[in-house]
Structure 1
Amino acid sequence: MKVALVTGASSGIGEATAQELQKAGYTVYAAARRVRRMEGLAAKGVRVLEMDVTDDGSMTEGVKKIIAETGRIDVLVNNAGYGSYGAVEDVPLDEARYQFEVNVFGLARLVQLVSPHMREAGRGRIINVSSIGGRIYEPLGAWYHSTKFAVEGLSDSLRLELKPFGVDVVVIQPGGIKTEWGGIAVENLEKTSGGGAYAEQVKQLAGFFSQMDRASEPKVIADVIVKAAEARRPRTRYAAGFGARPVLFARRVLSDRAFDALFLGAMRRFA
């Protein structure tokens, strides 16, 4: 039976992915800081791990545990991440660094820990959950988008490095998904820049985010991740969820100025 490790599995996309991979026949290890929130997964037979992707020791011990118990890791789903918003002028650099620790360096460290086992086996799949935010941009989201642009670039180079060893690297680009992400992003946005020079942009972007009631369920992304895990020859990128494909198409065909105007116009409608 194949073995999968899914990070950020206490809610949203990670939780749904752990469930769907188990249904597909995998032995699934669901990892997150909040173990109590994974009791539902444990009740379904998913193996839960306490893991903090900013703590090297917890990641190292988690991977050791999986190898000791199963002897293999076939699929790594790097899903842990969060969105912290605010004007570049306002966001403390400690918060910016922490967002990189969670969204980029934690992901990279797990790749370092897991890829030797995949290389030795001559097979494996690393699935990095990025975002359409790894291809587009928006005001007040510079640090979040920087992390996702970094995930995209890291994944492309990693794909070439691991290809000779039979290990595939896949990027998932979710659009609007009904998770805790939006609420956390808006909370940080308003706390950081809601009362200063950028208050009007905060109001507009918060209104824009409020349309998440039209977003897709996390299972939409979980199903795509299972597809990427199971495909004989997976695509390098999968975009899915509310608005993902049209937004990425617009970014591809429009100039920077035209995309700026499109996005700012959309924001103003929610002022």
Structure 2
Amino acid sequence: MQETVLITGCSSGIGRASALAFLEEDWTVYATARNPADVQTLGEAGCEIATLDVTDDGDVERVVDRILDEEGAIDCLVNNAGYGRFGPIEDVPVADVHDQFDVNVYGPHRLARAVLPSMRRERDGTIINVSSVLGRLSMPGTGVYSGSKHALEAMSDALRNELAEYDVDVVVVEPGPVRTAFSERADREVRSDDSSSSGSDDGRSGAYEEFYRVFEDTQLVAGDGPGSVEPETVADAVVNAASMTQPPARVQPGTLPRAAVLARHLPDGVRDAAYDLLRKLSR
């Protein structure tokens, strides 16, 4: 019997690559995005497509109900939709923090609540939450994004154990830098804080210009630096996790995220000293 997967955020990158990878494995794939034009080519490739904004309760209910009506079950949910809001904590407006959590945390929560009654009834299913290595290790300038991914990791740990008796698996995928448009949007988000020093929500405080210089010089979250991987590498990890009878709780696609996750076990003082050294070397 052909299995069915619902994937969010399929307009590009990991989501698009995952949709194609599931399709190659003969899954019925529902590829979704906020703009249906962004997934039109996936429809032509054989996916079912749908408009889905993960911040919209009505969208979530409509798409999940449609899949259950058409397929009878959702075997896997891939919560991939997300973006990164970077910058020093003081310089990020509160409204931007709300938006970051609405997409990266509340979105997966909405989708999980929508699909779980069916999965529990079937006593089968997998929820895959695409997080980040920054969900385990927060760095200067990543606090808001890392905070959202830390929250997703914590919810996944709780959910995994809550669903154990129903044979529903929860897997967190933690990539490092990926060669996608993610870094371009992150760069735009940082640049959107104009260089004003008013201290208001409309611009930078003026206290962290060194961070912005380092961000622009080193491309902190760029997907084309050392250790970065193609989105297909992450997609393969997602499909493998969905196909396993007993998947691991966490998967790190690539060498860099596996090494970075180990760094969280270092004493705080050691990590702080490493960040300080990096800052000095970048001057």
- Shorter-chain TM-score bucket reads over 0.9
Q: 1:152, CA displacement in angstroms?
A: 0.4
Q: 1:193, CA displacement in angstroms?
A: 6.5
* CA shift in 2, pair 1:247/1:268, >3 Å: farther
Once the two structures are superposed, residues 112-146 of structure 1 have per-residue CA deviations (whole angstroms, 9 ceiling, x without a partner) of 00011000001000000010011011112211111
Is the Cα–Cα contact under 8 Å of residues 193 and 199 in structure 1 kept in the other structure?
no
Match of 1:220?
233
Q: 1:264, CA displacement in angstroms?
A: 4.0
Q: Are 2:112 and 1:100 aligned?
A: no
Q: Which moved more, 1:179-188 or 1:114-123?
A: 179-188
Q: Which moved more, 1:183-192 or 1:93-102?
A: 183-192
Once the two structures are superposed, residues 200-229 of structure 1 have per-residue CA deviations (whole angstroms, 9 ceiling, x without a partner) of 111112333265323211001000001101
Q: 1:251, CA displacement in angstroms?
A: 2.1
Secondary structure of the 2:169 match is strand
Structure with the larger helix share: 1
Q: Which moved more, 1:148-157 or 1:90-99?
A: 90-99
Q: Are 2:237 and 1:207 aligned?
A: no
Q: 1:261, CA displacement in angstroms?
A: 2.2
- Structure 1 residue ranges (4+ consecutive) displaced by more than 6 angstroms after TM superposition: none
Give the gaps of 5 or more residues in structure 2.
197-205
* CA shift in 2, pair 1:193/1:54, >3 Å: same
Is the Cα–Cα contact under 8 Å of residues 74 and 115 in structure 2 kept in the other structure?
yes
Q: When the two structures are superposed, what TM-score results if normalisation uses the length of structure 1?
A: 0.95
* CA shift in 2, pair 1:194/1:205, >3 Å: farther
Q: Which amino acid aligns with 1:206?
A: E
* CA shift in 2, pair 1:21/1:116, >3 Å: same
Match of 1:48?
49
User: Superposed, which structure 2 residues align to 1:69-218 within 5 Å?
Assistant: 69-192=70-193, 196-209=206-219, 212-214=223-225, 215-218=228-231
Rounded to whole Å, the distance in 2 between the matches of 1:268 and 1:233 is 45
2:274 to 232, 253, 262: 262
Q: 1:268, CA displacement in angstroms?
A: 4.8
Secondary structure of the 2:192 match is helix
Q: Which moved more, 1:66-75 or 1:210-219?
A: 210-219
Secondary structure of the 2:144 match is helix
Q: Number of aligned pairs?
A: 270
Secondary structure of the 2:177 match is coil
* CA shift in 2, pair 1:224/1:188, >3 Å: same
* CA shift in 2, pair 1:156/1:182, >3 Å: same
Q: Are 2:68 and 1:67 aligned?
A: yes
Secondary structure of the 1:140 match is coil
Percent identity between matched residues is 39
Q: Which moved more, 1:217-226 or 1:39-48?
A: 39-48
* CA shift in 2, pair 1:150/1:49, >3 Å: same
Once the two structures are superposed, residues 67-100 of structure 1 have per-residue CA deviations (whole angstroms, 9 ceiling, x without a partner) of 1111110000000000011222121111110110
Rounded to whole Å, the distance in 1 between the matches of 2:59 and 2:210 is 41
Give the gaps of 5 or more residues in structure 1.
none
Secondary structure of the 1:77 match is strand
Q: When the two structures are superposed, what TM-score results if normalisation uses the length of structure 2?
A: 0.91
Match of 1:246?
259
Q: Provide the aligned C-alpha RMSD in A.
A: 1.5
Match of 1:231?
244
Q: Are 2:20 and 1:5 aligned?
A: no
* CA shift in 2, pair 1:267/1:26, >3 Å: farther
Is the Cα–Cα contact under 8 Å of residues 180 and 223 in structure 2 kept in the other structure?
no
* CA shift in 2, pair 1:55/1:236, >3 Å: same
Is the Cα–Cα contact under 8 Å of residues 177 and 241 in structure 1 kept in the other structure?
no
